[in-house]
Amino acid sequence: AAEARSWIRPVEKWRPRGSNVDRQLASLLRHLFVKYRMPLFFDTVWLLDYSPHCAVWRDWYLEVGQGQNIRHCALPISYTKKMAHYFMRAPQDLSLLQAIRWGQILGMGGDARLARMILSTRLSPGFSRDEFWSAVIQWLILHPQLELDQLRLIVDYLIFQRYGVSPEEYDEDSSPINEYSLKGRTFQSLLRDVNEWHRDQENKKRIPEYEWEPSGIPEFDFRDEEDGAQSGKRWVIRELLNSYELDTEGNHMNHCVGTYVSSCVEGNCSIWSMQIELEKGFKKAITIEVRKEPHLICEVRGKANRLPNPRERNVLRRWAETAGLKFSSYCSF
């Protein structure tokens, strides 16, 4: 009744057939809304709640039912004619979002086996910032020798590398922390890195995770208004407060800050991560060590232990001024 204005035939003229509830629903929906062929998986949008995104999906149903091509709907990703073709022929056991992914994979040149495998990974559920995942799918299509277990590990590894969170923590709101990509990666080199990462993750599960109290030094949130390429960019400096965050910082920055756990637990120092907000999320810039007494910035390093650039030094100085921090004699900018 909520969509009565969209009925193309009077409900009184519909007659249920048989006793199968799913078939009766499919028949009723097609009687009320559909002029042309409609895949069965699409019917599930009428069994969901009335949140805004579900209402959008029902609008797509109505539009496709009137003969509009799905690629002209406001889909979360760019869709080609070929993708739309495979979308309309997706298996009926899929959800709408899974069918969109199915059409994308087959439209890009993948097959049903790969599509099923991808749908069983953490890559499948949503389409936030899908430019990265579309590139991943293209890489996977070029390496059809992958098995399901390998694919799941690869997706988990890519989540960690790109978003800096564990696969279990990854969701639609996760923001990229760098520009990691698979460009130029061979099958063997990626699989070697994935297996090494997975072993490290399993080993870390056997090691207790440590947490410690905040140092009391204020965090920093700053928008750079100076001229140049970074003008208008937002910078944040936040304290790392557990061994997992330290380890993640060290892995992504390719330096040894992950070994500072005992110093942080004992309160001898605090470790801080400076990040810059880019169009695709926050990117790690530099890591900062502050000695407890007398609140002394004693080490600052970027990726692979590089020294901070002028823009980073400017943000660092501003934070030091507002937080009452000093620079050590060998770390003066």
Which domain range does residue 138 map to? Answer: 120-207
At residue 179, the pLDDT reads 87
At residue 202, the pLDDT reads 81
At residue 237, the pLDDT reads 97
Of 193-197, 198-202, 215-219, 285-289, least confident by mean pLDDT is 198-202
Residue 160 in any domain: the answer is yes
**242 and 193 housed in the same domain:** no
Query: pLDDT of 58-83, one tens digit each?
Result: 999 999 999 999 999 999 999 999 99
**237 and 309 housed in the same domain:** yes
Contact 291, 298 (CB under 8 A): yes
Query: pLDDT of 294-329, one tens digit each?
Result: 889 999 999 988 999 999 999 999 999 999 999 987
* Confidence category of residue 230, pLDDT binned at 50, 70, 90: low
Total of domains in the chain: 3
Contact 198, 157 (CB under 8 A): yes
Mean pLDDT of the chain: 89
pTM to 2 decimal places? 0.66
Give the end of a domain, one of 166, 181, 207: 207
Task: Return all residues near 29 (Cβ < 8 A) that are at least 6 apart.
Answer: 38, 43, 46, 61
- Beta bridge mates, 180: none
Query: pLDDT of 278-291, one tens digit each?
Result: 877 888 999 999 99
At residue 114, the pLDDT reads 96
Query: pLDDT of 2-16, one tens digit each?
Result: 577 788 888 888 988
Give the end of a domain, one of 95, 111, 133: 95
**202 and 273 housed in the same domain:** no
At residue 2, the pLDDT reads 57
More confident residue, 210 or 206: 210
At residue 294, the pLDDT reads 82
Neighbours of 280 (CB within 10 A): 15
Q: Above 90 in pLDDT, residue 199?
A: no
Task: Return all residues near 125 (Cβ < 8 A) that are at least 6 apart.
Answer: 97, 172
Q: Above 80 in pLDDT, residue 332?
A: no
Residue 108 in any domain: the answer is no
**228 and 321 housed in the same domain:** yes
Residue 104 in any domain: the answer is no
**Separation between Cα atoms, residue 238 and residue 217, nearest integer Å:** 10
Residue 306 in any domain: the answer is yes
**Separation between Cα atoms, residue 208 and residue 96, nearest integer Å:** 41
Residue 230 in any domain: the answer is yes
**323 and 234 housed in the same domain:** yes
Q: Above 60 in pLDDT, residue 122?
A: yes
Residue 155 in any domain: the answer is yes
**Separation between Cα atoms, residue 152 and residue 300, nearest integer Å:** 36
